[in-house]
Each structure stands twice: as structure tokens, then as C-alpha cells.
């Protein structure tokens, strides 16, 4: 990309940044001892950049290009219509769902893949409202949610005659009432990387007779979710972040087994019919998670995702969590060591119990700082008005990556002192 790219040896690095020798050596040791080390990392197509934007778009798994060539040329090109049966296209939404299920702590038959996250939020919120008691008059929505959840939840409430009340996740236990049908909460805050208390909030909601609907976009694939262990009622998530399914790959819907029979979808397409090829004009919902389907599944994207999920073979999500915390620990330590004092401030909690798998740093002139980081081969992203986001995907992010990212950040911050940096809000 540019000659500015940072490819220094740890020794060279140590000449520039305070404490760099120690941290670089520490990173090397951690990588050497990493059970998810190069064997898993080699399942991805990587280059000499440090890619810390896997919380937005995961890197390409090596299995995908070959599999997609086969899907396109053989399954579509040669078998054509026969592939709906012979290549297992028709059942892919459930089959890929069963492949995601263990990553979020679900049994088979609880997860179905298809449509975007926004569409699945609509299914989950309307479906949840329809399961709630007659006296319910409102739903709660995480006040810090990724915006689409809020927009869709308001549409769902409008169409079912309920009110929407935005509530900070930490306040849900206090704010839920017997009139609350459900709360829609983000497991990890997309902006700050804060991990919300899924077991505690779910329990509090249940104590008040409300359902817990979780958005797992920023947690699934980065940490154990435990949807069944903690009795989550409904959940949705995307698959293009830590699950590496590709740009805009289809999202998923989880419905707790005991609620599936009562799940009454607002989007009852022919794929969720008990007898889809009966072509009857009367709708009868299929049994089980199939009723979360809508229209014809998007096969190319679904099968790319399926191939991408092979990168998880033999990987325990608990090990991913351990590495994730070690990566973000190291990054935060390195930032503290390398960045000019007071120049950045982490808005991601230091407490492991409250941290997801990203680090967000408040930084004046963040837009310009991120642009320069990217020019120097460290890919994170910028969120308005002044946040630098760095996502850590344990399957392919190394400790050396974390150290190098912090080191380059230190260099950029020294090259762009605060007084020179433009306000981030302009970016």
C-alpha cells in the first residue's frame, strides 16, 4: 500500500516507542503459546496489514473461494434446479443455523439463517410482543443500541400498538414493569465495546414477566453467549463480523425451544409454511425453527457463510474468549505505554466481565488519526464523533498484531499532535 507501512522488527520498534521491547517480546511469547495460533490463523487470507476491522467485516476464510466456485459452476451451472434437493439448498437455512448454534450456546433446531439482521429484529420483536401478556403496553429498547434495532423496534411497536421506551442496559432491571412485553438489548455495545450483563438482565426481565431479546452481532464468535444456559428467549445476530461470512452475509434468528410453538412471525413467507410445495392459499406455520424462514433463501451467500464457518472446526469459543481478553489486555497495555499521555482515552471497560472483543478509544481528530493509521497498514474504523474502533478476532488476530497496532498508533499520535488534529466529527 505505501512505504509508510509498519514492518519493523521488534528491535527496530524498540528504538522508537517507550517500553516497546518488552511489549514486543511479550507478544512474541503469547503468540508462541497461543492454542489458536498459526494453524487457525492460516485458515484465513491475510496480508501484511494489521486487520482490526473484523468487528465490521471479517477476513476471508481460505475455504470460501474454492467452495463458491463449486457452488456456482457445479451446483448452479450444471445441476441447476436439481440442487434445491441434491445439493441441499432447501435445508441450508437450518443446516447453517445448526453450525452457528454451538457458537452461541444453542442446541440444534434453535437457529435459522436468512435475511438481514434488521429483518430478524423485526421478526423477533413482533414475535416476542405476540407472545407477551395482553396487558403489555410497551417494549424497552437498549438506549445505546446500534441504530437499526431502535428503528425496527419502533416500527414493530407502531404496528402492534405498543410504546417504545429507550433504557440504558444497566437500568433495565430497575425500569422493567409488568406492562413491559420485552426488552431488546445489544450484547456488546457497537460503539464502546462494552459487554452487557446478559444473564443478569435476562433474569431481571423474566422476574417481571418480560421476554429478553438479544442482539448478538458484536458478541457471537468472540465470546460464549450461552443463550440456552441463561434462558434467552429470542436472539438475532449478523454473520459478517466475528463469523466471517462475507459482506452482508445472512443473519440468524434464535428462538428458545419452549417458545417456538408460540412464535407467530410477522413475515410468514412460503418458506415457513408447513407444506411449502403444497401451494395452498391458507397459511399453516411449520413446526420448529423453520417458521423463522420467510422467502427463498439466498443460496450463494448462505453457502459462502457455511464454508466460512469451517474455520471454527476444533475451535472452542471459550478459548476464543480467553485469547480475546488477552489480546485486548495487551493492546490496552501497549496503548498506555506508547501513546502520548492523555491523548487517547479508552471507553471500553478494563473489567474483563464488561469487555467485548473490541477496544474503542476516544481521540480528538479521530477521523484523521484513523485515516493515517490505515495509510500505515493498521485497519480499524472511525465512529462519529471521535471514536477509534479496533476489533480483535481471535481466530486470526495475533498478539504481534495487537502490539504493532498500538505502536503505530503511538507514532501517528506523535506525528499528529492534538492541536493539529482536525475534529473527528468532520470525518
Q: Which residues are catalytic?
A: 146, 215, 240-241, 389
Question: What is the x/- site pattern for a copy of itself, positions 183-202, by CB under 8 A?
Answer: --------x-----------
**For the chain, how big is the Rg over CA atoms in Å?**
23
Q: Give the burial class of 172: count Cβ atoms within 10 A of its Cβ; 0-12 exposed, 13-18 middle, 19 or more buried.
A: buried
Q: Does 64 bind a copy of itself (CB under 8 A)?
A: yes
Pick out residues in 223-282 that bind a copy of itself (CB under 8 A).
238, 240, 246-251, 265-271, 273, 277-281
- Annotated ligand binding at 218? The verdict is yes
**Residue keyed to cell 437500568:** 171
Compute the distance between CA of residue 38 and CA of residue 269 in angstroms, rounded to an integer: 44
- Annotated ligand binding at 296? The verdict is yes
Pick out residues in 100-129 that bind a copy of itself (CB under 8 A).
115-119, 122, 126
Pick out residues in 296-315 that bind a copy of itself (CB under 8 A).
296-302, 304
Identified binder of a copy of itself from the candidate list 26, 76, 173, 288, rule CB under 8 A: 76
Helix, strand, coil in percent for the chain, rounding step 5? 45, 15, 40
Pick out residues in 139-168 that bind a copy of itself (CB under 8 A).
143, 145-148, 150-152, 154-155, 159-160, 166
C-alpha pair distances (Å), 294 with each of 116, 245, 251, 266: 11, 20, 13, 10
Closest CA to 356 of 221, 214, 247, 235: 221
Residue spans of beta strands (DSSP E) within 145-217: 163-167, 180-186, 211-215
C-alpha pair distances (Å), 12 with each of 363, 375, 405: 27, 20, 15
Question: What is the x/- site pattern for a copy of itself, positions 319-358, by CB under 8 A?
Answer: ----------------------------------------
Q: Does 383 bind a copy of itself (CB under 8 A)?
A: yes
Q: Does 73 bind a copy of itself (CB under 8 A)?
A: yes
Compute the distance between CA of residue 290 and CA of residue 287 in angstroms, rounded to an integer: 7
In the annotated binding site, the residues are: 117-118, 146-149, 215, 218, 240, 270, 296
* Residues of the binding site for pyridoxal 5'-phosphate: 117-118, 146-149, 215, 218, 240, 270, 296
Amino acid at each position: 500500500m505505501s512505504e509508510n507501512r509498519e514492518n519493523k522488527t521488534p528491535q527496530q520498534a524498540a528504538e522508537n516507542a517507550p517500553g516497546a521491547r518488552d511489549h514486543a517480546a511479550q507478544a512474541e511469547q503469547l503468540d508462541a503459546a497461543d492454542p489458536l495460533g498459526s494453524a487457525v490463523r492460516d485458515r484465513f487470507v491475510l496480508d501484511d496489514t494489521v486487520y482490526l476491522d473484523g468487528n465490521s467485516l471479517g477476513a476471508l476464510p481460505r475455504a470460501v473461494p474454492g467452495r463458491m466456485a463449486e457452488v456456482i459452476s457445479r451446483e448452479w451451472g450444471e445441476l441447476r434446479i436439481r440442487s434445491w434437493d441434491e445439493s441441499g439448498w432447501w435445508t441450508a437455512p437450518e443446516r447453517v443455523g445448526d453450525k452457528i448454534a454451538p457458537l452461541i450456546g444453542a442446541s440444534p433446531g434453535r437457529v435459522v439463517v436468512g435475511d438481514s439482521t434488521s429483518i430478524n429484529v423485526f421478526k423477533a420483536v413482533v414475535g416476542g410482543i405476540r407472545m407477551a401478556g395482553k396487558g403489555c403496553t410497551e417494549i424497552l429498547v437498549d438506549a445505546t443500541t446500534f441504530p437499526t434495532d431502535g428503528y425496527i423496534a419502533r416500527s414493530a411497536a407502531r404496528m402492534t400498538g405498543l410504546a417504545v421506551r429507550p433504557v440504558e442496559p444497566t437500568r433495565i432491571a430497575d425500569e422493567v414493569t409488568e406492562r413491559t412485553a420485552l426488552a431488546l438489548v445489544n450484547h456488546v455495545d457497537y460503539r464502546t465495546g462494552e459487554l452487557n450483563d446478559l444473564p443478569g438482565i435476562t433474569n431481571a426481565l423474566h422476574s417481571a414477566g418480560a421476554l429478553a431479546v438479544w442482539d448478538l452481532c458484536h458478541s457471537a464468535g468472540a465470546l460464549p453467549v450461552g443463550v440456552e444456559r441463561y434462558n434467552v428467549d429470542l436472539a438475532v445476530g449478523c454473520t459478517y463480523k466475528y463469523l466471517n461470512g462475507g459482506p452482508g452475509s445472512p443473519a440468524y434468528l434464535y428462538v428458545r425451544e419452549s417458545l417456538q410453538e408460540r412464535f407467530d412471525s410477522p413475515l410468514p413467507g412460503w418458506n415457513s409454511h408447513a407444506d411449502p410445495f403444497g401451494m395452498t392459499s391458507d397459511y399453516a406455520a411449520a413446526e420448529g425453527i423453520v417458521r423463522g424462514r420467510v422467502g427463498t433463501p439466498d443460496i450463494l451467500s448462505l453457502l459462502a457463510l457455511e464454508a466460512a464457518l469451517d474455520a471454527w472446526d476444533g475451535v472452542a469459543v471459550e478459548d476464543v474468549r480467553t485469547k480475546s481478553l488477552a489480546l485486548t489486555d495487551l493492546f490496552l497495555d501497549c496503548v498506555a505505554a506508547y501513546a502520548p499521555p492523555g491523548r487517547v482515552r479508552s471507553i471500553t471497560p478494563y473489567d474483563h466481565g464488561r469487555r467485548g472483543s473490541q477496544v474503542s478509544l476516544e481521540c480528538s481528530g479521530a477521523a484523521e488519526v484513523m485515516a493515517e493509521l490505515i495509510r500505515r497498514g493498521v485497519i480499524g474504523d472511525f465512529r462519529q464523533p471521535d471514536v477509534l474502533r479496533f476489533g480483535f478476532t481471535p481466530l486470526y488476530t495475533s498478539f504481534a498484531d495487537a502490539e504493532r497496532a498500538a505502536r503505530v498508533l503511538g507514532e501517528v499520535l506523535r506525528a499528529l499532535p492534538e492541536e493539529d488534529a482536525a475534529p473527528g466529527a468532520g470525518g
